[in-house]
Structure 1
């Protein structure tokens, strides 16, 4: 019941208090030119139908992609992480204030969010690294196969192992993703980074509800994110900055809404688990 309660409370709170969406929406629009530049920088087009490409050229292309990705994410990712941290702090504190029957003070919460931005961003980096790391396990193995292959083909047994790793990582993500949504809210509620990370233990002790929350929230967010994916697909082939900027402007409201649903949803799930479990 925890998953259903958390989601119903999240939707109820956001629908009755739409003003708390304003700050994450503004921050999403601030990030538009940043994300547009990032998307253009990481845009990569290559035709693997060219039979004249040697193994060494392919290896060089993959290394260049990895280096570009690392440089871009280090600089731009840091800025985006700090801005997103402010939005998350504002959403959590606003929700907690509303639950107390009080009115959130936007200016005060933004100031407090700026002070807490660094530790929240660090937690988000850890969470993101965990999520991406698990997701990349099978893909890292595939890249290793490509780089070490002596010919144009990869043995079937190696591909079987790749698909097995992909399935395992998928099941792990079904737990890690919803559990990770509680980390920042738990930190803000408890005012302790360690207790924020202990949200994973709380989620593990409530595994069925955590998995149910992840599935239900995933369905809801997919519905809201349909325009996002449609926009990304429609203009994927055009690599001009103005096109990326337009795409990010269209996608910003949906990203802000998904951020609000995920953050407030993680808070509600944590509060539900905290109320249902015995004192540690």
Structure 2
């Protein structure tokens, strides 16, 4: 029930603290033209024959241009994604801390201004980046460990198919749990004011593994739904409008949805953090009652 309660509470908080959507929207609108400029257009993959002659025979060769075009596209895409990631980490970390801190203040009934939150987010930028990098490395490492059964299974097919299935299921479970893990790391940091506090997330998440797994899956559902809506609208725009302005129009049209997605993730992290705190407190009460010989 903890995961469902936190998921429902996420939408309630988003409605209650509507102005926290503004920093996310500003960030998404700033990132939109950068993404449109940096991201390369998809290759056309038009096959043009290379004609050569051998005596009286003309030979046409296909495929070389397509391969070169695709490799060039991948190279440009990689560079663009690297640049976008750098910009997103810097600006996004400020916004993430600002929204997270804003939700925490909203829950306690304290007043706040968006300007103060953004300044506070800028001050805590290094801490957010450090925490995000560490938790990303941990998530990748855990995912790699989860893939070991699947990798072993592929060596002993068809009998190893069971190991492959176990590996895939284990990977999905680990990814769901690490989604919840990264979601509450920044709320812990913003709430307690020190980087070390973020690492309390490990005990909280793995101590409540079923709820953490369920909440991670629920976050995926929300992310997939919003991404599909934004992606569909962006695709329609790129098909209808001329190539020169299509990418810019598409990015700006998707910006409000991307902002909503960011707010959903950050607010969701706070909601689940608070829910786990309640669960931890209930566990302590149960333990104290058991020590007194009282069973509920």
Report TM bin, short chain. 0.7 to 0.9
Distance apart, 1:251 and its partner CA:
0.9
Partner in structure 2 of residue 203 of structure 1: 205
Residues paired across the two proteins, number: 259
Q: Are 2:108 and 1:106 equivalent residues in the alignment?
A: no
Closer/same/farther in 2, CA of residues 39 and 103 from structure 1, 3 Å limit: same
- Larger RCO, structure (CA 8 Å, separation 6 or more): 1
Partner in structure 2 of residue 36 of structure 1: 36
Q: Are 2:180 and 1:178 equivalent residues in the alignment?
A: yes
- The CA deviation string for residues 21-55 of structure 1, in whole angstroms up to 9 with x for no partner, is 111111110111122234327x456589x99558x
1-side partners of 2:24 and 2:251: how far apart?
15
Q: Are 2:296 and 1:259 equivalent residues in the alignment?
A: no
Closer/same/farther in 2, CA of residues 236 and 199 from structure 1, 3 Å limit: farther
Closer/same/farther in 2, CA of residues 214 and 122 from structure 1, 3 Å limit: same
Distance apart, 1:162 and its partner CA:
11
Partner in structure 2 of residue 272 of structure 1: 275
Gaps of 5+ in 1: 140-154
Query: 1:108-187 to 2 correspondence within 5 Å?
Result: 108-128=116-136, 168-187=170-189
1:120–1:184 Cα contact (<8 Å) kept: yes
Partner in structure 1 of residue 193 of structure 2: 191
Distance apart, 1:132 and its partner CA:
6.5
2-side partners of 1:131 and 1:244: how far apart?
32
1:81–1:124 Cα contact (<8 Å) kept: no
Among 83, 89, 104, the residue aligned to 2:97: 89
1-side partners of 2:248 and 2:183: how far apart?
28
Gaps of 5+ in 2: 50-60, 148-154, 285-296
Closer/same/farther in 2, CA of residues 29 and 97 from structure 1, 3 Å limit: same
Closer/same/farther in 2, CA of residues 72 and 226 from structure 1, 3 Å limit: closer
Normalised TM-score (structure 1): 0.75
Normalised TM-score (structure 2): 0.71
Distance apart, 1:74 and its partner CA:
3.6
Larger Rg: 2
- The CA deviation string for residues 42-76 of structure 1, in whole angstroms up to 9 with x for no partner, is x456589x99558xx969966983x5455434433
- The CA deviation string for residues 180-217 of structure 1, in whole angstroms up to 9 with x for no partner, is 21122222222233331441332111111112212223
Give the secondary structure class of the aligned counterpart of 1:201. Answer: helix
